[in-house]
Amino acid sequence: MAVLSRYRTATGAGVLTALVLVLVFGSPWYRNWAADHTNPDTAGGWFLRLLGWPAWRFDSNDTFGDVLADDLKAILLIVLTGVFLMLTTGQQLARARGTLSQFFAGWSAYIFAAALAALLTTFIRSNPSLLTAFQSAGNGALYGLFTGWIIGITTLGHWRGTT
């Protein structure tokens, strides 16, 4: 395992983890399961439902703009995670391999990516407003806060692409 992690970058590991989180937990099947089998009034049920926040779907009774916004939000979450990981795990952390600073860099990158993805895609929805954009960004930041630790763990100890 140590040999494999030496050749994998922190950005690549974080993006791969974000992709898995979005594909598995953002899927309509998982969200339907969570809605049917969890209690939103318990901490575990709330968290399992929160995992489905980057929802993606292909068919729905909603407007085209809403479906496009959800799908684009899921894609932007993955792309922006990569962008923020590249920005936060560069030269400034080159000597901090495996430390808590790398963990927090990965975690914060996911928080920022989720908030920005939600903010940007709000304006594609039907009847967008600045208030709904702020609320969406807050929901994205909440999702990133409670799930970003997963990204932080996967970026720990990985090479940052510096020489």
Per-residue pLDDT of the chain (163 residues; tens, 9 = 90+): 444 444 468 888 899 999 999 999 999 999 999 999 999 999 999 999 999 999 998 776 778 888 888 899 999 999 999 999 988 876 555 555 557 888 898 999 999 999 999 999 999 888 889 999 999 999 999 999 999 999 999 988 665 555 4
- The predicted pLDDT at position 94 comes to 55
Q: Counting beta carbons within 10 angstroms of the beta carbon of residue 81, is it exposed (0 to 12), middle (13 to 18) or buried (19 or more)?
A: buried
Check if the beta carbon of residue 102 is closer than 8 Å to that of residue 157.
yes
| C-alpha closest to that of 82 among 133, 116, 124, 125 | 116
- The predicted pLDDT at position 160 comes to 53
- The predicted pLDDT at position 46 comes to 96
Q: How many residues are given for the chain?
A: 163
- The predicted pLDDT at position 93 comes to 54
